[in-house]
Amino acid sequence: MPSEIPPVDPGFGWRWDNSYARLPEGFHSRVDPTAVSTPGWGLFNRPLAESLGIQAESLDRHDHAHYFTGNRLFEGSEPIAQAYAGHQFGNLARLGDGRAILLGEHLDPSGRRWDVQLKGPGLTPYSRGGDGRAALGPMLREYLISEAMHALGIPTTRSLAVALTGEPVFRETTLPGAVLTRIAASHIRVGTFELFSALGDVQALKTVAAYTLLRHFPDRSGEPKPGKALLEAVIERQSALVAQWMRVGFVHGVLNTDNVAVSGETIDYGPCAFMDAYDPATVFSSIDRQGRYAFGNQPKITSWNLARFAEALLPILDDHESTAIEVAQTCLESFPARFRRHWLAAYRGKLGLLTEEDGDATLIEELLAWMHSTQADFTQTFRTLRPTDLGQSESTVPNLNADQQSVAHSESTPSDPKFLDWHRRWTERLARQGLPLARVLECMHQHNPVIIPRNHAVQAALDSASQSNDWSAFHALLAALQSPYQKAGAPDSLRNPPPPGTPRCRTFCGT
Ligand code: AMP
Ligand code: MG
């Protein structure tokens, strides 16, 4: 970490301080992006740039495209590819940034540190058989969904820019190439620790653990048992994160350990998608044939990934192996309760429950079971739930804003007996907490988005941008996803589930 505040570069306002590049050999390889022939303008995230303290106005689009494809380097950046390993669908592999280059770390005006990474800038020493490149469609998917996740209030890496390389990439078909600029709290992964563990490099493990604690959990970095402190902190962040995914119906799609950021941010948007009809078995990814990373499996697989993290940390948990194993097990055993706490808080919020009762989990699970059996739309079911009567006359309920009033009066309640029975018990539960309807609806509207990036809308937007160079649908969807909890603004066509009978779109890794 920095000893003094680095200078601001005069062109953009980047303040580079590249602490990861200062870590020892073995953590990374120095590599420059590969120049492309005709860089082109794609997308630039102005609000994000502003929050980072970056001045983009001084640049014309042509310059932009050169910098954000990696053709030109920002002064002060020190491009590296990071080394890591990872369990991919259960098997450990030696990986590393095969198609990503970390330009460096930027300190924003409040002093927060951000990785600035190009995704798709050409070959690195870790490219193995790949081409180091990315296709436009998948980079637009990452941009759209990461920004949607951010607007939903879920920790995530961000997308600053997409630039076009002007060169084709060859997948099953020939596709336009692009480079995404990703902003992240860091790119330290569970797989980063697995690499050093697999190499038996205890010194490197100690180094990366100390570095990670200082960077992400500074209040725990002075503890006498840094390995345990780190393990606990990461388990807590991951349990909170996966509960948030479960709140909004997000399916990550490739929860390999190299795609688990220890910062607790959602990272690596490959075949990810949001669920329409509620079904825990929902899978979108074309390569996830066993449903390993299905919606409902995400807590379990996160727990599995954390077990791999704990294993990697064993050499630094204690000098005695048996004690180290005990420490790891005790920490890992805390995951279910931690996840349950976050999940309950999220789902209580979705049902407007501001107090706690023992029966709440059952009430939530019964609604989910009904939704599953009727293939109810996940997002719309929660958003249109409305208690019938909390013992208060509606005209005396204060502070219903226009959005809440329109929900209160326009949306209908399903009429099947199972649902009605559940609805009666939910209303009774709400009445017992004794809070005004306006407060209940406010809470529900903060936890239940009105719009999510539905896969059919995402796919249509990506296809017309990347295949027909028509960006209107992409920009309309991106704009609508900026305020996901507000009813006004988002057109029905983007909010509604796909028409009944529409086959579920498959998603692809894009590699
Ligand atoms: P992912 O499934 O995107 O998380 O990628 C898994 C691993 O494959 C990472 O080490 C990537 O850097 C690498 N990889 C993915 N796509 C490519 C590519 N086109 N060229 C080189 N390496 C790649
Ligand atoms: Mg990855």
Question: Using one digit for the tens of pLDDT, what is the confidence trace for 454-483?
Answer: 999 999 999 999 999 999 999 999 999 999
| Residue pLDDT, tens place only, 152-168 | 999 999 999 999 999 99
What does the alpha-carbon distance between residue 108 and residue 8 come to, in Å, rounded to a whole number? 10
What does the alpha-carbon distance between residue 293 and residue 378 come to, in Å, rounded to a whole number? 18
Q: Is residue 411 predicted with pLDDT exceeding 60?
A: no
Q: Tell me the CA–centroid distance for residue 267 and ligand 1, in Å.
A: 13
User: Span 419-435, mean pLDDT?
Assistant: 96
Which of the ligands is closest to the CA of residue 98? 1
The whole-number pLDDT of residue 59 equals 64
* Total count of residues recorded for the chain: 511
User: Span 230-240, mean pLDDT?
Assistant: 98
Contact assessment for residue 137 and residue 239, using Cβ atoms and an 8 Å cutoff: no
Q: Of 225-239, 353-367, 399-413, 487-501, which gets the smallest average pLDDT?
A: 399-413
Burial label for 4, CB within 10 Å (0-12, 13-18, 19+), is: exposed
Of all residues in the chain, the percent with pLDDT exceeding 90 is 86
Strand partners, 115: 105, 184
What does the alpha-carbon distance between residue 30 and residue 212 come to, in Å, rounded to a whole number? 21
Coil vs helix vs strand at 24: coil
Tokens representing 308 are 């791999």
Q: Is residue 396 predicted with pLDDT exceeding 50?
A: no
Q: Is 85 in the pocket of ligand 1 (CB under 6 A)?
A: no
User: Span 3-23, mean pLDDT?
Assistant: 83
User: Span 393-416, mean pLDDT?
Assistant: 50
Q: Tell me the CA–centroid distance for residue 251 and ligand 1, in Å.
A: 19
The whole-number pLDDT of residue 489 equals 74
Nearest CA owner, ligand 1 atom 11 = 98
What does the alpha-carbon distance between residue 189 and residue 208 come to, in Å, rounded to a whole number? 11
Q: Is residue 393 predicted with pLDDT exceeding 70?
A: no
For the chain, what is the radius of gyration of the CA atoms?
24
In the residue annotation, 279 being an active-site residue is answered as no
Contact assessment for residue 477 and residue 506, using Cβ atoms and an 8 Å cutoff: no
Contact assessment for residue 137 and residue 270, using Cβ atoms and an 8 Å cutoff: no
The whole-number pLDDT of residue 114 equals 98
The whole-number pLDDT of residue 463 equals 96
Which of the ligands is closest to the CA of residue 122? 1
Pair (57, 163) in one structural domain: yes
| Residue numbers of the domain that contains 197 | 191-271+285-344
Q: Is 130 in the pocket of ligand 1 (CB under 6 A)?
A: yes
Pair (115, 197) in one structural domain: no
User: Span 111-125, mean pLDDT?
Assistant: 98
Q: Is 125 in the pocket of ligand 1 (CB under 6 A)?
A: no
Nearest-CA neighbor of 453 among 153, 145, 246?
145
The whole-number pLDDT of residue 247 equals 98
Q: Tell me the CA–centroid distance for residue 103 and ligand 1, in Å.
A: 18
Helix (H) or strand (E) holding 458: helix 455-468
Burial label for 417, CB within 10 Å (0-12, 13-18, 19+), is: exposed
User: Span 281-286, mean pLDDT?
Assistant: 94
Pair (328, 207) in one structural domain: yes
Q: Is 259 in the pocket of ligand 1 (CB under 6 A)?
A: yes
Burial label for 305, CB within 10 Å (0-12, 13-18, 19+), is: buried
The whole-number pLDDT of residue 404 equals 44
Q: Tell me the CA–centroid distance for residue 12 and ligand 2, in Å.
A: 29
Find how far residue 82's CA is from the centre of its chain: 20
> Would you say residue 245 lies in a domain?
yes
- What single-letter amino acid sits at 51? S
Backbone angles phi, psi at 178, to 5 degrees: -150, 160
Nearest CA owner, ligand 1 atom 12 = 98
Closest atom of ligand 1 relative to the 270 alpha carbon = 3
Q: Tell me the CA–centroid distance for residue 142 and ligand 1, in Å.
A: 14
Q: Is 132 in the pocket of ligand 1 (CB under 6 A)?
A: yes
> Would you say residue 243 lies in a domain?
yes
Pair (336, 419) in one structural domain: no
**Catalytic annotation, pick one of 258, 268, 288, 377:** 258
Q: Is 120 in the pocket of ligand 1 (CB under 6 A)?
A: no
Tokens representing 287 are 């390569």
The whole-number pLDDT of residue 55 equals 84
Which of the ligands is closest to the CA of residue 260? 2
> Would you say residue 15 lies in a domain?
no
Is the dihedral angle over the CA atoms 393, 398, 404, 406 positive or is it negative?
A: positive
Q: Is 254 in the pocket of ligand 1 (CB under 6 A)?
A: yes
> Would you say residue 12 lies in a domain?
no
Tokens representing 40 are 């082109």
| Domain end marker among 154, 185, 216 | 185
Q: Is 265 in the pocket of ligand 1 (CB under 6 A)?
A: no
Q: Is 192 in the pocket of ligand 1 (CB under 6 A)?
A: no
> Would you say residue 14 lies in a domain?
no
The torsion of the CA quartet 106, 110, 111, 115, rounded to 10 degrees, works out to -30
- What single-letter amino acid sits at 270? G
Pair (363, 297) in one structural domain: no
Nearest-CA neighbor of 479 among 142, 140, 147?
147
| Domain end marker among 160, 185, 210 | 185
Coil vs helix vs strand at 246: helix
Q: Is 276 in the pocket of ligand 1 (CB under 6 A)?
A: no
Q: Tell me the CA–centroid distance for residue 86 and ligand 2, in Å.
A: 9
Pair (173, 197) in one structural domain: no
> Would you say residue 4 lies in a domain?
no
Nearest CA owner, ligand 1 atom 7 = 95
Q: Is residue 296 predicted with pLDDT exceeding 60?
A: yes
Mean pLDDT for all residues in the chain: 93
Contacts of 424 (CB under 8 A, 6+ apart): none
Pair (497, 355) in one structural domain: yes
What does the alpha-carbon distance between residue 431 and residue 389 come to, in Å, rounded to a whole number? 8
User: Span 120-141, mean pLDDT?
Assistant: 98
The whole-number pLDDT of residue 4 equals 62
Q: Of 192-196, 199-203, 205-209, 503-507, which gets the smallest average pLDDT?
A: 503-507
Nearest-CA neighbor of 193 among 182, 183, 207?
207
Contact assessment for residue 139 and residue 180, using Cβ atoms and an 8 Å cutoff: yes
> Would you say residue 11 lies in a domain?
no
Closest atom of ligand 1 relative to the 169 alpha carbon = 19
The whole-number pLDDT of residue 63 equals 81
Strand partners, 87: 92
Structural domain count of the chain: 3
Burial label for 477, CB within 10 Å (0-12, 13-18, 19+), is: buried
Q: How confident is the model at residue 64 (pLDDT cuts 50, 70, 90)?
A: confident
Q: Which of 80, 101, 511 to mutate to test the pocket of ligand 1 (most atoms within 8 A of CB)?
A: 511
What does the alpha-carbon distance between residue 370 and residue 67 come to, in Å, rounded to a whole number? 52
Q: Tell me the CA–centroid distance for residue 455 and ligand 1, in Å.
A: 23
Pair (89, 206) in one structural domain: no
The whole-number pLDDT of residue 410 equals 38
| Residue pLDDT, tens place only, 199-231 | 999 999 999 999 999 999 999 999 999 999 999
| Residue pLDDT, tens place only, 344-382 | 999 999 999 999 999 999 999 999 999 999 999 999 999
Coil vs helix vs strand at 268: coil
Nearest CA owner, ligand 1 atom 2 = 509
**Which pairs from 474-483 meet CB under 8 Å and 24+ separation?**
474/140, 474/144, 477/144, 477/453, 478/143, 478/144, 478/147, 480/451, 481/144, 481/147, 481/148, 481/151, 481/451, 481/452, 481/453, 482/147, 482/151, 483/151
> Would you say residue 430 lies in a domain?
yes
Nearest CA owner, ligand 1 atom 5 = 511
Pair (432, 337) in one structural domain: no
User: Span 393-408, mean pLDDT?
Assistant: 42
Longest dimension (CA), the chain: 69
Tokens representing 262 are 């220890």
Pair (249, 152) in one structural domain: no
Q: Is residue 178 predicted with pLDDT exceeding 60?
A: yes
User: Span 273-289, mean pLDDT?
Assistant: 95
Pair (203, 123) in one structural domain: no
Contacts of 241 (CB under 8 A, 6+ apart): 154, 155, 264, 265, 266, 302
Q: Which of 84, 91, 99 to mutate to test the pocket of ligand 1 (most atoms within 8 A of CB)?
A: 99
Closest atom of ligand 1 relative to the 258 alpha carbon = 4
The whole-number pLDDT of residue 390 equals 73
Q: Is 261 in the pocket of ligand 1 (CB under 6 A)?
A: no
Pair (338, 430) in one structural domain: no
Q: Tell me the CA–centroid distance for residue 274 and ligand 1, in Å.
A: 23
Coil vs helix vs strand at 285: strand
| Domain end marker among 298, 319, 344 | 344
